[in-house]
Structure 1
């Protein structure tokens, strides 16, 4: 028993000694790194200095700018002085610039032309009007006219020409709204240098299209999406346009008459195909979701199978006989027909 007690006493003594040693053991604290804040601060200052001198290569900026629309260009010009200078000045190589817009709103076609005529009588304002490059109607369906003023409008436009306008945007809040035909028939006369026109959601007849393409010989791009009136599948309305490069007519209507049946003949009449009357310079065509109206006899439009075959033949023949300038075509071609045509015309990008 004594031995056991002695052992216990020794154990207690050793425990107390170890505990005291632990108390006296010096604490090792992690040394603080002097200058952490100053180094971080210096790094941030260096980054700011580098950023202030950072300069994208102009060629890269020009490539980015070339893909932007007017709204995006205006937003980008606010990012930095460098971008603002490139976009707003005559930077060599930059073809996509912010263009001044002449925006029109109102309810009277006659009043619109009267205001223009008044401004053209003043030499200073006449000069300012020539600087605009885009004419845009906020809602062209709101402008109304009457037959009594048609002759007066034709006389007025003889003294009005906005030679700076190269793009015309006619918009409508609904494709069901009619637009004053007198406005559409007279606009081409005051825009002789027009290169691009957008009729999307505008309800107009083929005579209007003929008037624009006959009166504006420099027209290169035509957009007319969501039009409930019809176009001739041959491109008859556009036959006088020698410079037309781009056609966008999605969700619109083509009419095919009896005399147009050769347009779907894949074995004969290779010179007669869709848009053959206006295709000399075509590069880009989009006619997706088209509606087709066939005037080929009683109940033909009710035969869906025959219609589908005929539509595909028309599209196939166009791709096969399109001019070598064509490099992009979006339509309702079936996947199998697109695969076949890619082998025949690899230079044309085909899309749905």
Structure 2
């Protein structure tokens, strides 16, 4: 009888249905694909390929910082951003600089240049960014030391095409030693950003002469004034964009205000051959000898309307230059 009871109990346990295992949400990453069949893998891959053109279009509107953050979301996004042939907005290697001594900065660069492995790596960087250029101080009380110039002559970073020299505050003056020598080591520079950096006109002239391929200059919130005729950029034959919002300008010749005569003399006439975009919002004039500097703006619109596509004087965004406005002023 005991055996019969035991058998009945076992039969009852076998007939009882087992509970299904608890549902677990799929994990994010490659593990979810690794556990699928080949057919399911092909379906997932085909769906991802359909999204690639959309992702490429989205990434084309992102700046470098946003692009780097997006590449960290998944391996698929990282692969599209870095390896997809149709994606033109790539992540560029950034050479970031921090510190306070201009001499030590150049000495460290010189050491890397003398060492073959690091010298080759330096040429792969395309962007140079200073965390705060106003913190850099010279080893000489005034001007640029001979030693610094000699070190800079031995350094060439031909891969750098963009330079960001932004300062934390426009109230801090930038030492001329760093800004004056950087053009010597960046001969292939195309874009430079001096936002919030305060410096004299000689720095712009140095970049203009030593960087012949320069196409875009951004210098906003500078306490020092520029020549409104573009004399500081006279050597820049390829300059296409000027962004000088909240900056000061000087006028040395009254002819620049004459709407009826001297048509060859107007704002930025020294660098207007290839100029396409100009932004001078909230511009100020520092020349006390000129009573009505605002006349320089409409003359610029008249004289350069054939080459300028975008001109921003007051409004906060770029807008097309009104050719009708330029014709009416004539």
> TM-score band (shorter)?
0.7 to 0.9
| Superposed CA offset, 1:44-74 (max 9, x none) | xx9xx67982444655444432321101111
Residues 305 and 326 of structure 2 are in contact (CA less than 8 Å); yes or no, is this contact kept in structure 1?
no
Residues 213 and 219 of structure 1 are in contact (CA less than 8 Å); yes or no, is this contact kept in structure 2?
yes
- Equivalent residue for 2:70? 76
Separation in 2, partners of 1:339, 1:281: 17
Instruction: Work out whether 1:181 is the aligned partner of 2:189.
Output: no
- Equivalent residue for 2:9? none
| Superposed CA offset, 1:193-219 (max 9, x none) | 111101111110000000001100011
Residues 308 and 321 of structure 2 are in contact (CA less than 8 Å); yes or no, is this contact kept in structure 1?
no
Separation in 2, partners of 1:100, 1:340: 36
- Equivalent residue for 1:123? 116
- The Cα of 1:340 is off from its aligned counterpart by 10
Larger relative helix fraction: 1
- Equivalent residue for 1:17? none
- Within the candidate set 292, 298, 318, 2:300 is matched to 318
Instruction: Work out whether 1:294 is the aligned partner of 2:287.
Output: yes
| Larger gyration radius, structure 1 or structure 2 | 1
Residues 249 and 287 of structure 1 are in contact (CA less than 8 Å); yes or no, is this contact kept in structure 2?
yes
- Within the candidate set 79, 85, 88, 1:91 is matched to 85
Separation in 2, partners of 1:95, 1:270: 42
- Equivalent residue for 1:253? 248
TM-score (norm 2): 0.78
- The Cα of 1:321 is off from its aligned counterpart by 1.5
Q: Is the alpha carbon distance of 1:340 and 1:236 closer, same or farther for their aligned partners in structure 2, counting shifts above 3 Å?
A: closer
Q: Is the alpha carbon distance of 1:81 and 1:56 closer, same or farther for their aligned partners in structure 2, counting shifts above 3 Å?
A: farther
- Equivalent residue for 1:343? 324
- Within the candidate set 152, 164, 168, 2:147 is matched to 152
TM-score (norm 1): 0.74
Residues 282 and 323 of structure 1 are in contact (CA less than 8 Å); yes or no, is this contact kept in structure 2?
no
- The Cα of 1:91 is off from its aligned counterpart by 1.6
Residues 141 and 178 of structure 1 are in contact (CA less than 8 Å); yes or no, is this contact kept in structure 2?
yes
Q: CA RMSD in A?
A: 2.5
- Within the candidate set 133, 141, 144, 1:140 is matched to 133
How many residue pairs end up in the alignment?
281
Q: Is the alpha carbon distance of 1:265 and 1:60 closer, same or farther for their aligned partners in structure 2, counting shifts above 3 Å?
A: farther
Which segments of 5 or more consecutive residues in structure 1 lack a partner in the other structure? 1-45, 301-306, 347-352
Separation in 2, partners of 1:250, 1:275: 15
Separation in 2, partners of 1:82, 1:281: 41
Residues 281 and 323 of structure 1 are in contact (CA less than 8 Å); yes or no, is this contact kept in structure 2?
no
Separation in 2, partners of 1:317, 1:345: 8
- The Cα of 1:83 is off from its aligned counterpart by 3.4
